[in-house]
């Protein structure tokens, strides 16, 4: 991994009158039983992670897992009870208040689940609002707002109010507003969970499109594994305030570190996650192949061809055959049966 733009070390967030008893020298300690006896809730406990510049990092878990609280700590909206949050190697909690405000206003953007638009402002006014807070002159901030509105496909709706927009359009306004400041870090806290499935997928496509253009560092919160698979470079799965495992979707499905991760990923769309490399078998010299498949191709992209062919397909990388995929491999994937893969 390249040098992280954002990291945390031993981060914990405790709630309760006796929370201070479980923090010593900036570090958290305490068993679940001790916390419960003291009436303290550990929403986040002992989290370590590194997020690379330009990465789309998804944090996911069920309701109450601590994912939103962790994001509030990462975005400096909530101070952690213990540990460090490092932005470009600087501990956010040790910064002067003025520097922290500057970072939040100029280098961080956030999209919320419930849009959080200002109802008395037009689309243009909402998108320009964070620039107004920065003190940018009106002509310049409106020019920037127009650029962002065009970027998210709302050109021509600048004068409308939030109540005059659909849910998907309102969320596009939220996206445009969060991008207006040109953030280095882009936080999306379950941004599409309030939308119907069709609009939700369109908005996922929009994030992918924007990320392809802008190359932001994205911290994306969701409880939906399908959504995580679509947008993530890496995924962190949380349970009871802790991170159970961090990895690519393929790593989580193939090599779950805990029983919880195994259960969490059991119903994952394997054909959309796993690649030819992960299911290939050892090639046989002189075999007759029906065709070639790139090692990094997702199974969903080639499953129909392989299932319809009596001959296996060669798995290739850099023009070299490194494995073979056949009908049996497809069946194994569909039923979730483990199959030993070949190391490339």
Examine the domain organization and report whether 205 and 308 are in the same domain.
no
Same domain? 256 vs 276: no
Q: Mark which of 238, 264, 290 sits at the end of a domain.
A: 264
Q: What is the CATH number of the domain that holds 175?
A: 3.40.50.300
Please state, in angstroms and rounded to a whole number, the distance separating the CA atoms of residues 250 and 107. Answer: 31
Q: What is the pLDDT of residue 343?
A: 44
Task: Please give the Cα distance from 215 to 185 (Å, whole number).
Answer: 10
For 311-338, what is each residue's pLDDT tens digit? 999 999 999 999 999 988 777 776 666 5
Residues 251, 13, 105, 188: is their CA dihedral positive or negative? Answer: positive
Instruction: Quote the pTM value.
Output: 0.86
CATH no. for residue 299?
3.90.1280.20
Does 46 reside within a domain?
no
Last residue of a domain, one of 264, 280, 310: 264
CA distance 114 to 190: 9
The CA distances from residue 244 to 270, 272, 317, in Å, are 20, 23, 32
**Is 104 part of a structural domain of the chain?**
yes
Are residues 247 and 277 both part of a single domain?
Answer: no
Decide if 126 is inside a domain.
yes
Number of structural domains found in the chain? 2
Q: For 55-103, how does the pLDDT look when each residue is reduced to its tens digit (9 = 90+)?
A: 999 999 988 999 999 999 999 999 999 999 999 999 998 999 999 989 9
Cα distance between residue 160 and residue 151, in whole Å: 17
**Within a domain: 1:** no
Domain span holding position 278: 270-335
Question: Which residue among 229, 244, 264 closes a domain?
Answer: 264
| Same-domain status, 182 and 290 | no
Residues of the chain with pLDDT under 50: 341-344
Q: Are strands 27-28 and 41-52 parallel, antiparallel or unpaired?
A: unpaired
Q: Regarding beta strands 234-239 and 242-247, do their DSSP bridges make them parallel or antiparallel, or are they unpaired?
A: antiparallel
Q: Is residue 90 part of a domain?
A: yes
Tell me, yes or no, whether 17 lies in a domain.
Answer: no
Residue 111 falls within a domain, yes or no? yes
**Secondary structure of residue 222 in the 3-state scheme:** strand
Q: Taking a C-beta distance cutoff of 8 angstroms, is the pair 74, 36 a contact?
A: no
Same-domain check for residues 147 and 237? yes
């Amino acid at each position: 991994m390249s040098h992280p733009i954002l990291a945390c070390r031993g981060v914990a967030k405790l709630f309760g009158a006796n929370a201070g008893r479980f923090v010593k020298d900036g570090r958290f300690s305490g068993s679940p039983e001790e916390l419960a006896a003291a009436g303290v809730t550990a929403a986040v406990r002992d989290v370590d992670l590194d997020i690379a510049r330009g990465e789309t990092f998804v944090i996911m878990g069920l309701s109450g897992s601590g994912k939103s609280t962790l994001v509030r700590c990462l975005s400096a909206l909530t101070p952690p009870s213990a540990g460090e949050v490092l932005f470009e190697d600087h501990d956010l909690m040790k910064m002067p208040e003025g520097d922290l405000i500057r970072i939040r206003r100029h280098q961080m953007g956030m999209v919320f689940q419930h849009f959080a638009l200002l109802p008395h402002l037009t689309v243009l006014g909402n998108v320009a609002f964070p620039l107004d807070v920065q003190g940018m002159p009106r002509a310049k901030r409106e020019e920037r707002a127009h650029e962002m509105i065009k970027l998210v496909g709302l050109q021509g709706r600048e004068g409308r109010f939030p109540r005059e927009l659909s849910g998907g359009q309102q969320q596009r306004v939220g996206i445009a507003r969060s991008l207006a400041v040109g953030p280095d870090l882009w936080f999306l806290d379950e941004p599409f969970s309030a939308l119907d499935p069709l609009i939700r997928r369109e908005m996922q496509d929009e994030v992918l499109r924007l990320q392809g253009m802008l190359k932001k560092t994205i911290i994306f919160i969701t409880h939906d594994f399908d959504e995580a698979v679509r947008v993530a470079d890496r995924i962190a799965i949380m349970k009871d305030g802790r991170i159970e495992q961090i990895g690519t979707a393929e790593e989580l499905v193939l090599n779950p570190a805990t029983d919880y991760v195994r259960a969490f990923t059991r119903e994952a769309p394997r054909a959309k996650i796993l690649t030819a490399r992960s299911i290939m078998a050892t090639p046989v010299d002189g075999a007759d192949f029906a065709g070639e498949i790139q090692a990094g191709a997702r199974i969903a992209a080639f499953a129909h061809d392989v299932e319809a062919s009596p001959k296996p397909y060669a798995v290739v990388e850099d023009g070299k055959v490194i494995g073979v995929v056949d009908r049996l491999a497809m069946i194994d994937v569909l039923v979730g049966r483990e199959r030993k893969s070949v190391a490339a």
